[in-house]
Amino acid sequence: MSDPSAGAAFEALLDHRGRDLLLLVDDNLRIVRAGTEAAELTGRPRVTLPGMSLIAAFGSGPLDAVARRCASSREPQTGEAELGEPAPRTYVIDAIPLAGGGMVLALRDVSAQRRAERARRDLLANVSHELRTPLTSVRLLAESIASGSIEDGPTVRDFASQIERETDRLATLVDELLDLGRIESGETRLALEEVDPAAVVATLVERIRPMADRRDITVGMLPEPATPARAMADAARLEQALLNLAHNAVKFSRPGGEVRIGWSVTDSRVRFSVADDGIGVPLAHQARIFERFYKVDRSRARAEADDVGPDSPSAGLGLAIVRHIAEAHGGSAGASSVEGVGSTFWIEVQRA
């Protein structure tokens, strides 16, 4: 048996399945060897690649530039490129010159890492934005009071209670963020038990009624299934999720409207539904409302929230929390809605 050769090792690596890949390229930037994955990335049959120029095969300026720098400097070079159609992925490229001429290009897929970095940046931007608005209000109100320019007591008291409302909003935002963080990281352990869906619905109706009364909205129950069933749920978390849905139903309804809450069953799941005849969600936004910080229209959402009071700040986190609670239960959450007609939001958990 002969010793393993470097050539054989390289051939093996070329066809190593994974997200990282290797290419052998000559000094004229023509492909000498490419594996199956590289071929997949170009969308061309593997046999057509040898002899083809890098730029013709991949259509990527940045990839070509790294190889070109390596060919002219004869030094290792690195760069980054988006490769593949129709869903490009991000690769870090190492171009390493070979002693006898040509180079090897090692491509490392960093799409997931870049996505996570982007998500972190977006999160920071969103959090900063949501914090800045109430903070600016508090600052302006406090400045007015401190300047001594307001003489009358009632106005000072009004400013002070506005400050209170804004700080409540900030506190809720921070609580929601911490909560979301805990649920997302899986840190929150659910205390699953058998719960009676009818009792959950009845409690929810009672808890939402004061807020609904204030806005002249009726709260009722949807028809119940004929046969009893039990859900496997962490009762407190389930109630928290449903309360978020019920809050929204009231918040986005018009005075005189009706919110109805109920439950139904399939073979394996229990579905809790909150239906309203409110303003509904425009079709274009429906796919995104469960994302954190997503609001259909900031000015509209803010106006609605102010109308309801300081207990309902609007940061666009409510539905993200609902979805995460549902998923932590091995269930799901969703909505159907018609703009101007109303919405039904639901959360499903396992049936006991």
**What are the residues binding ligand ADP (CB under 6 A)?**
248-249, 252, 276, 278-281, 289, 294-296, 301, 314-320, 343, 345
**Identity of the residue numbered 219:** V
First vs last C-alpha separation in the chain:
62
The C-alpha atoms of residue 148 and residue 145 are separated, in whole angstroms, by: 6
> In a 10 Å sphere around its CB, with 0-12 CB exposed, 13-18 middle and 19+ buried, how is residue 208 labelled?
buried
Nearer to ligand ADP, 97 or 334 (CB): 334
Report, in Å, the least distance between residue 94 CB and ligand ADP.
43
Nearer to ligand ADP, 25 or 281 (CB): 281
Nearer to ligand ADP, 197 or 278 (CB): 278
Positive or negative, the CA dihedral 217, 218, 221, 223 is negative
Nearer to ligand ADP, 166 or 276 (CB): 276
Report, in Å, the least distance between residue 352 CB and ligand ADP.
28
Report, in Å, the least distance between residue 217 CB and ligand ADP.
12
**CB neighbours of residue 287 within 10 Å:** 10
The C-alpha atoms of residue 130 and residue 140 are separated, in whole angstroms, by: 17
Nearer to ligand ADP, 91 or 252 (CB): 252
Contact 36, 118 (CB under 8 A): no
Report, in Å, the least distance between residue 342 CB and ligand ADP.
7
**Residue number with the smallest Cβ distance to ligand ADP:** 318
Report, in Å, the least distance between residue 289 CB and ligand ADP.
4
Contact 261, 347 (CB under 8 A): no
Residue 282 is encoded by which pair of tokens? 């425009």
